[in-house]
Amino acid sequence: MLAPALVLLLAAQPAAPAPQRAVMIVPVEGTDVMPAMRAQLDAHVRTSASVLADARVLSRAETDAAMEDAVTAGLQCSLQAVACLVQLGLVAGVTDILIARARAQPTLELSVLRVDVERASATAIAADRVDLANADSTRPVLLRAWRPPATLSVEVDNIVGFATVDGVTFGAVPDLQPLAVQTGSHAVAVVDARGVVIDQRTVVVSAGHHRVRFGEADEEEPKQVAAGPATGAIAGGVIAGVSGVVAATGLLMAMDAEAQLSKPKPGVDPNVEALQAGGLLGLFGAVVGGIGIAVGVYMLVGAGAES
């Protein structure tokens, strides 16, 4: 049995601290940034990594050795893919990977993506303008990527371009990771490769996750096209013309039937019933034609008033 003094001594011992997260920072990339600038920016990022107080950051030498070990182990994939970064983290034995990319145009910008190796997912990407002469200028970007105050997903419909927040480019859309941003109001835009704004809006974000969508296709209801003045005039003219022909024909038929009934030709026995039927049909045609003429004239007058 343990002595009481030993029991008290053990009870007084502080609890073991939670294990630190091990972080690998992939060397800074950037196709439009000179190698010397990338090397200096990479050094700034590693110096600023002291803001990650709850993590142990691998040195550049440890990072290079881990990446060589991954290649030796047969890892062949693009570091642009989150799945590849997760595999690299497993080989290196780290809990998180930070991958930094730089853009030199129009101003020097740094974006940092955090990948949680244990959860096999990207947390968020942070971006901001940095000053190569000031190492501390990279700290806010690292801190925001490590522990985002708020996140914003930029979703697009039928748009290919680059997402910017307050003029800073975060990455290509679609398929962009959530953006790590400060709370407050932001000008969020989608621009093309030349930097021309395709769509833009102001978004106010609070703590938590938010979404903004660009290029939503509104479902338009079918529109009925109303007949314009020209269409009405043409239709009115056609109706009036056809109705005039019908009326004239009907009137001629009625007059001919009446003439044959009142003055039959010598030696010809008229078919009274047939002539009466033809006369009635002619009168009916004349009436219908007259109505059609009236409608056509009305449409013509209306079309003229509209024009």
Which pLDDT belongs to residue 65?
94
What is the number of H-type helices and E-type strands within the chain? Answer: 7, 12
Average pLDDT over residues 82-100: 92
What's the pLDDT tens digit per position in 209-220? 999 999 865 444
Q: End of a domain among 147, 172, 199?
A: 147
Peptide bond into 14 cis (omega under 30): no
Percentage of residues in the chain with pLDDT exceeding 70?
64
What's the pLDDT tens digit per position in 5-36? 434 443 455 555 555 789 999 999 887 889 99
The CATH number of residue 32's host domain is 3.40.50.10070
Give the confidence band of 102 by pLDDT, cuts at 50, 70, 90: very high
Determine the distance from the C-alpha atom of residue 296 to the mean position of all C-alpha atoms in its chain, rounded to a whole number.
Answer: 51
Give the strands of the sheet with 197-205, arranged side by side.
Answer: 168-173, 161-165, 184-191, 197-205
The verdict on residue 264 lying in a domain is yes
What's the pLDDT tens digit per position in 139-181? 999 999 999 999 999 999 888 889 999 988 888 888 888 999 9
**Is pLDDT above 60 for 245?**
no
172 and 104 share one domain = no
The verdict on residue 288 lying in a domain is yes
Note the pTM of the prediction, 2 decimals. Answer: 0.60
Q: End of a domain among 147, 163, 191?
A: 147
The verdict on residue 242 lying in a domain is yes
188 and 233 share one domain = no
Q: Output 188-195 pairs: Cβ under 8 A, ≥24 positions apart.
A: 188/152, 188/154, 188/163, 188/164, 188/212, 189/163, 189/164, 190/154, 190/156, 190/159, 190/161, 190/162, 190/163, 190/164, 190/214, 190/215, 191/161, 191/162, 191/164, 192/161, 192/162, 193/161, 193/162, 195/106
The verdict on residue 12 lying in a domain is no
245 and 234 share one domain = yes
**Is pLDDT above 70 for 236?**
no
The CATH number of residue 200's host domain is 2.60.40.1120
Average pLDDT over residues 91-98: 92
143 and 30 share one domain = yes
Q: End of a domain among 192, 216, 240?
A: 216
188 and 297 share one domain = no
Task: Please name the residue that has the structure tokens 């709850």.
Answer: 54
39 and 72 share one domain = yes
* Contact present, 217 and 187 (Cβ < 8 Å): no
The verdict on residue 10 lying in a domain is no
Which pLDDT belongs to residue 11?
46
240 and 301 share one domain = yes
Q: Which residues sit opposite 165 in a β-bridge?
A: 168, 188
Domain coverage including residue 185: 148-216
What is the number of structural domains in the chain?
Answer: 3
31 and 110 share one domain = yes
Average pLDDT over residues 177-206: 91
**Is pLDDT above 80 for 74?**
yes
Average pLDDT over residues 129-148: 92
24 and 139 share one domain = yes
> Greatest CA span in the chain, whole angstroms?
155
The verdict on residue 1 lying in a domain is no
132 and 58 share one domain = yes
The verdict on residue 302 lying in a domain is yes
180 and 246 share one domain = no
Coil, strand, or helix at residue 56?
strand
The verdict on residue 190 lying in a domain is yes
162 and 53 share one domain = no
Q: Which residues sit opposite 125 in a β-bridge?
A: 113, 179
